[in-house]
Amino acid sequence: MAKTALVFRPTGSQGKAVVKHLASSGWNVRAFIPDPLSERALALKYFGNNISLFKGTLDDLTAMDAAMEGCDAIFLVQMPSWTDDSETRDAANIIRAAKAAGIEHIVVSTLLGIDRANIADIFSHPIIAPVVDGKVKVEKLVRESGLQWTFLHPGWFNTNVTLPVVNIQYPGLSQGKLVCSYQPQWAVGTVDPDDIGAFAAMVFNDPRKFSGSIIDVLSEIVTVEDIFKEIERATGKKIEVHYRTAEENQTAFDNPYAIGQSLMKDLEPFLDIEKARSYGIPLTTFRQFLKKNKESVVPK
């Protein structure tokens, strides 16, 4: 008999990939979504007839309880909270509902490196710290919940350079010009979100093996300079990149994206592509990702 999984944020890049891979591996998938009639929600049905759309929001506890009834497992990914503890509050409600429904396994996707002892020191900037702290607290709640758990820690999302996200994170790239707080030779652990879905399905399909595991999800390790060269190769257009100096970074003190970029170097010690390969999941190179998603890659 097929098992049933509930996926939160199913139309996001991670959630959609999880829906796709679980459905293809025979799971019944419930997508928990505020508007089941939206175009993005209805598009999930193309992944299979074993997908159901459940209407609800994270503050609608009645809808959450109904969606979890009869489920075997949960996939949880959350938007970070910059200002309050809503992320941990929502996670606590989800855990409560999961235990009441008799759900045994929860897979949570957070951030690369947050299990390291010095992560709070790395992300101590007052703008970034609450985001990381929220993820750490969610994982603590899950560890202490009594549920079987597995944590996925993905690296840098390839979708950062596709529309519409790119215009938020990298303004100017659409026009072939970019100012960033990276340095060209820094190593980046890239992730195709579709690979996250494959890792999640692997975990769901063998919960005993992966219970209590933390899996760093990486697709490839490349340099920052390589990322921009690959975009140029895919689009046939030149990108002018200005790498901020240390002094210029000081003037971007209140820009969360610039801050996050400047901290990328501190994540280099956590990049272990051989470990990622050891799970046997086919990994997507950045070049392959750009080829698959050429229509949404910038600059045009």
- pLDDT-derived band at 84 (thresholds 50, 70, 90) equals confident
Contacts for 247 with CB less than 8 Å, ≥ 6 apart: none
* pLDDT at position 300: 64
User: How confident is the model over 155-177, as a mean pLDDT?
Assistant: 92
Closest to 37 (Cα-Cα) out of 22, 23, 54, 20: 54
Q: How many Å apart are CA 31 and CA 63, to the nearest integer? A: 12
Q: What is the pTM of this model?
A: 0.96
pLDDT at 113 over 90: yes
* Tokens (6 digits) for 237: 């257009």
The helix/strand/coil state of 152 is: strand
The CATH-assigned architecture of domain 4-296 is 3-Layer(aba) Sandwich (3.40)
pLDDT at 19 over 80: yes
